[in-house]
Structure 1
Amino acid sequence: MSAFWIALFIAGTALAGLLVYAGYCLRRLGTPTRGVAIDRSTRPNRALVVIDVQEDFTRNTGRHAYDPAIRDKALAAIGREIAIARSAGNDVIFVRNVFRGWGVVLAMKLVAGGIGTPGREGLRIDRALDVGEDPVFEKSIGDSFSDPGFEAFLADRAIGALTLVGLDACHCVQLTARGALARGYEVEVREACLLTVTPDKWPALKRDIGAAGAQVA
């Protein structure tokens, strides 16, 4: 075998390995976290958690884009929920997703044009929402509880009940719901305030998280 073909074989094997690892990294994004169970009797407060409503996702025009009319309706509903939560004296928490690790970043560049990867202006919260002085936490996988700061904030504020809104319903929202339920939080998901690029998958996932204890309003 000539040196050219040997080099080509090695390069092909390396690329295959990279793709396999990138696939593994993407699968890891879809695993809910586990944590220490809370004592809800000591946590009387509720928070609204706004998940991944970032312009890289909401304003994406590629093959993973949301229908603009559906997006704008959901954003308006989220805006109303934010106003209601603030007027009730409840905390509003924003969570941003920034993909980290070379395997994940490579995978996102290969399959989605690099959305959600470091350095992009689209990582900011969508312009339609008023973040104000509310805390913004960053995660790099689906479940918001993967950020220790998020969980610490909930403990500090004696929060035992969460209302979840945002995107994607079939990924980060339902994974955060599962992470919260595993820790003993009361969980409510506002369906009118969700977006998903795979609406056909949502009914089954909604049933699953409902059976696990979440209220889908």
Structure 2
Amino acid sequence: MTTLDNRPNTALLVVDVQNAVVDEGYERDAVVAKIGGLVGRARREGVPVVWVQHSDDGLVRGSEEWRIVGELNQEEAEPVVEKSYGDSFEDTDLEKVLAERGVGRLVVVGAETDACIRSTLHGAIVRGYDATLVGDAHTTVDKTEWGGIAPELVIAHTNLYWRYQAAPGRKGGTVMSEDVDFSG
């Protein structure tokens, strides 16, 4: 349903699964394992895997904290998009990377649910992409001491509202990892 012409392909977008971003993430190990399983499956099915890495004053490019977690192996040929804003499209080459691969549909996993995941999902929809959130393959840290809600509620709420997200000619949706269909 994407509104992007000649973009029939799907990509797995792995957002900010970096050491400092997910180390204290809710159900971190289970989420990283689900992401690893999806990465492997995408590769076997010939689906592009696109990695996103955030950097800013607190997350310095090249540092150990900035690196993708050790459990996930990024292949040399897989593109890496570096970003400095929540939305993975904002001031990056993500659109170019996806256009080169004919991608009009994204399957989104990663961190943090209430920041970069939400921003990227909305950024995708407004730019014409279909965007599916994998409900058991994203995480966030506990922000209750600053007035946030518990991480499991952030995740549940995001899964709920994204399940029904749509725009003219585009659709969102939430599925669990075992139900991901890379064919569309």
Q: TM-score range by the shorter chain?
A: 0.7 to 0.9
Shift of 1:208: 3.4
- Any gaps of 5 or more consecutive residues in structure 1? 1-37, 60-64, 100-104, 106-113
The partner residue of 1:216 within 174, 179, 182 is 174
Q: More displaced, 190-199 or 71-80? A: 190-199
Shift of 1:54: 0.4
Match for residue 55 of structure 2? Answer: 98
Shift of 1:156: 1.3
In 1: Cα distance, 2:82 partner to 2:54 partner: 6
Match for residue 205 of structure 1? Answer: 158
Match for residue 43 of structure 2? Answer: 86
- Is the partner of 2:71 in helix, strand or coil? coil
Q: More displaced, 136-145 or 199-208? A: 199-208
What is the alpha-carbon root mean square deviation over aligned residues?
A: 1.7
Residues 82 and 92 in structure 1, CA contact (< 8 A), matched pair in contact too: yes
Q: Closer, same or farther in 2 for the Cα pair 1:138/1:85, shift >3 Å?
A: same
**C-alpha offsets along residues 26-53 of structure 1, whole Å, 9 cap, x if unaligned?**
xxxxxxxxxxxx7434101110000000
In 2: Cα distance, 1:187 partner to 1:127 partner: 27
Matched, 1:131 2:81: no
Report how many residues are paired.
Answer: 159
For residues 49-60 of structure 1, what are the structure 2 equivalents within 5 Å? 49-59=13-23
Higher helix fraction (1 or 2): 1
In 1: Cα distance, 2:60 partner to 2:13 partner: 22
- Any gaps of 5 or more consecutive residues in structure 2? 142-150, 167-171, 176-184
Residues 178 and 209 in structure 1, CA contact (< 8 A), matched pair in contact too: no
Residues 109 and 133 in structure 2, CA contact (< 8 A), matched pair in contact too: yes
The TM-score with structure 1 as length reference comes to 0.68
The partner residue of 1:180 within 124, 130, 135 is 124
In 1: Cα distance, 2:18 partner to 2:155 partner: 20
Match for residue 145 of structure 2? Answer: none
- Is the partner of 1:201 in helix, strand or coil? helix
The TM-score with structure 2 as length reference comes to 0.79
- Is the partner of 1:132 in helix, strand or coil? coil
- Is the partner of 2:152 in helix, strand or coil? coil
- Is the partner of 2:17 in helix, strand or coil? coil
In 2: Cα distance, 1:117 partner to 1:209 partner: 31
In 1: Cα distance, 2:3 partner to 2:127 partner: 9
- Is the partner of 2:65 in helix, strand or coil? helix
In 2: Cα distance, 1:54 partner to 1:88 partner: 25
Match for residue 158 of structure 1? Answer: 102
Match for residue 28 of structure 2? Answer: 71
Higher strand fraction (1 or 2): 2
